[in-house]
Chains A and B, each alone.
Chain A
Amino acid sequence: MSGILVATTVNGDAVEFVCQPRETLLEVLRNRLGLTGAKEGCGTGDCGACSVTVDGALVCSCLVLGAEVEGRAVDTVEGLAEGDQLHPLQSQFIKHAALQCGICTPGFLVAAKALLDRNPDPSEEEIRYALAGNLCRCTGYDKIVRAVDAAAKDLRKQGRKA
């Protein structure tokens, strides 16, 4: 079977890959590009573990075909930290112990960043609504919500964008 050649940008880097028409963006990221941060939880867009952004829009990468991202900008959890410097969201997730098994964490981080990009000062309710598409089955949500709130404060204090 012949593949489709796709040229795209992933975390700011120009990337080319060949994929099959049925292959999802999640499969491409994990199996072809070695970016295993995004996880497959449900595979049906319910759990958010595979969250990435495409041209800034938060999406479930399990419900995007690899071929669709031609010419787009894909951002994944791997692009959050700058070198060894963790993103404030990542630091606050660690500080608040907002994870246990970690499967849902990359999705939560990407979804939380998408929230803070458009709303740097969200209320608790806004955080909970924005993260409603991400399921966690071990930590519970309180620590996650507190970590996002703390990271939002850090970012505002530093006067920087998420």
Chain B
Amino acid sequence: MRYEAPKTMKEASALMAKARGSAFILAGGTDLLVRLKSGLIEPELVVDIKRIPATQAIARTASGFRIGASVPCAALGRNSALKKAWPGVVEAANLIGSDQIQGRCTIVGNLCNASPAADSVPALVAAGAKVAIVGPKGRRTVAVEKIPAGPGRTSLKKGEVIEAIVLPKPKPKSGDAYLRFIPRTEMDIAVVSAGVNLTLGPKGVIKSARVALGAVAPTVLLVEAAAKAIVGTRLDDAALAALDAACQAACRPIDDKRGTAEFRTEVAGVLARRAARIAYQRAGGK
């Protein structure tokens, strides 16, 4: 195995593009090193991106926030502007692992590890986050939900490296929330999860919404029917019931040791309702 720590995204991309064997990006390493040590992967090359300035900071921009790919999740929790703008995203990122893991793990790593149960991903999808990618053919920006292709697989092409997550500036009167179900209070993998982001118009009527579910399909799902179910409403009981039903209809979960498909489907609806209520309150609705 070769270890490289380039100083620019271009070099990182070139190293990944030229690698003959399997090559992996190292940021926090909390997934990569576990897989490396267990022999699940035998990398020819590991490219540490933490020395690349463009990946190192959370920047406030004219259009929102840019969270560098090597920023540890703990740093999201310490950024009061980000926390105020996107509380759901920050809460989701801070749910991952212990303080030791928080000091290293990143949201881009969480995304690229491509687990359907990744905590930060439904919140990012609900927020309408995008990823800034540098590759051999230059730069491109795509929606977060386009990255996971299946468990452990991404749509990134050879040589493509994510530089940052780009979050929009929240619209006035909007709020987001993320909830997950685990059988204990912390330090566990989501059995089911839901992220909701919504914006209110006049009189507390929901003008737009995005609803995302985790751990109920091979990838995190953006459920447009669930968003439609609450747009135009004040999140009354009928709207919540319609949201619940739309979420359940979108679920394609598996049975495993963490939960049955039936359980996951039902809880997805419950969590979506609860997350929607929190988001609604955060948006200033009553």
Residues of A bordering B, CB below 8 Å: 4, 21-22, 24, 43-45, 48, 51, 54, 57-60, 62-65, 67-68, 70, 111, 114-115, 129-130, 132-134
Q: Is the CB of B3 within 8 A of A21?
A: yes
Question: Chain A's interface: helix, strand, loop or mixed, by majority?
Answer: mixed
Contacts of A24 in B (CB 8 A): 33, 37
Q: Is the CB of A63 within 8 A of B5?
A: no
Q: Mark B248-286, 1 if CB is under 8 A from A, else 0.
A: 000000000000000000000000000000000000000
Q: Is the CB of B98 within 8 A of A44?
A: no
Q: Is the CB of A133 within 8 A of B5?
A: no
With most chain B CB atoms within 10 A of its CB, the pick from A51, A63, A114, A133 is: A63
Residues of B bordering A, CB below 8 Å: 1-3, 5, 26, 29-30, 33-34, 36-38, 46, 48, 50, 72, 74, 97-101, 103-104, 186-187
Chain B's closest residue to A110 (CB) is: B100
Q: Is the CB of A45 within 8 A of B5?
A: no
* Complexed CA–CA distance, A132 and B101 (Å): 11
Which single member of A21, A43, A130 contacts B99 (CB below 8 Å)? A130
Q: Is the CB of B3 within 8 A of A67?
A: yes
Q: Is the CB of B72 within 8 A of A57?
A: yes
Chain A's closest residue to B101 (CB) is: A45
Q: Is the CB of B97 within 8 A of A65?
A: no
* Complexed CA–CA distance, A48 and B187 (Å): 13
How close is A130's CB to chain B, nearest CB, in angstroms? 6
With most chain A CB atoms within 10 A of its CB, the pick from B34, B38, B98 is: B98
Which single member of A45, A48, A65, A129 contacts B30 (CB below 8 Å)? A45
Contacts of A115 in B (CB 8 A): 99
Q: Is the CB of B97 within 8 A of A59?
A: no
Q: Is the CB of A60 within 8 A of B101?
A: yes
Which single member of B3, B103, B186 contacts A65 (CB below 8 Å)? B3
Q: Is the CB of B33 within 8 A of A133?
A: no
* Complexed CA–CA distance, A98 and B240 (Å): 49
Q: Can you pick out 11 interface pairs between chain A and chain B where the beta carbons lie within 8 Å of each other?
A: A44-B34, A45-B101, A59-B100, A63-B30, A63-B104, A65-B3, A65-B29, A68-B48, A111-B99, A129-B186, A133-B97
* Complexed CA–CA distance, A52 and B46 (Å): 23
* Complexed CA–CA distance, A136 and B62 (Å): 48
How close is A18's CB to chain B, nearest CB, in angstroms? 13
Chain A's closest residue to B2 (CB) is: A21
Contacts of B34 in A (CB 8 A): 44-45, 63
* Complexed CA–CA distance, A110 and B126 (Å): 37
Q: Is the CB of B100 within 8 A of A67?
A: no
Contacts of A111 in B (CB 8 A): 99-100
How close is B20's CB to chain A, nearest CB, in angstroms? 16
How close is A5's CB to chain B, nearest CB, in angstroms? 12
* Complexed CA–CA distance, A57 and B102 (Å): 9
Q: Is the CB of A65 within 8 A of B33?
A: yes
How close is B34's CB to chain A, nearest CB, in angstroms? 5
How close is B186's CB to chain A, nearest CB, in angstroms? 6
Contacts of B100 in A (CB 8 A): 45, 48, 51, 58-60, 111, 133
Q: Is the CB of A63 within 8 A of B33?
A: yes
* Complexed CA–CA distance, A111 and B98 (Å): 11
Q: Is the CB of B26 within 8 A of A65?
A: yes
How close is A41's CB to chain B, nearest CB, in angstroms? 12
Contacts of A59 in B (CB 8 A): 100, 103-104
Q: Is the CB of A21 within 8 A of B1?
A: yes
Q: Is the CB of B98 within 8 A of A132?
A: yes
How close is A89's CB to chain B, nearest CB, in angstroms? 16
How close is A40's CB to chain B, nearest CB, in angstroms? 11
Given known A-B contacts A63-B29, A132-B186, A48 and B1 have beta carbons under 8 A apart: no
Given known A-B contacts A57-B74, A132-B187, A133-B187, A64 and B29 have beta carbons under 8 A apart: yes
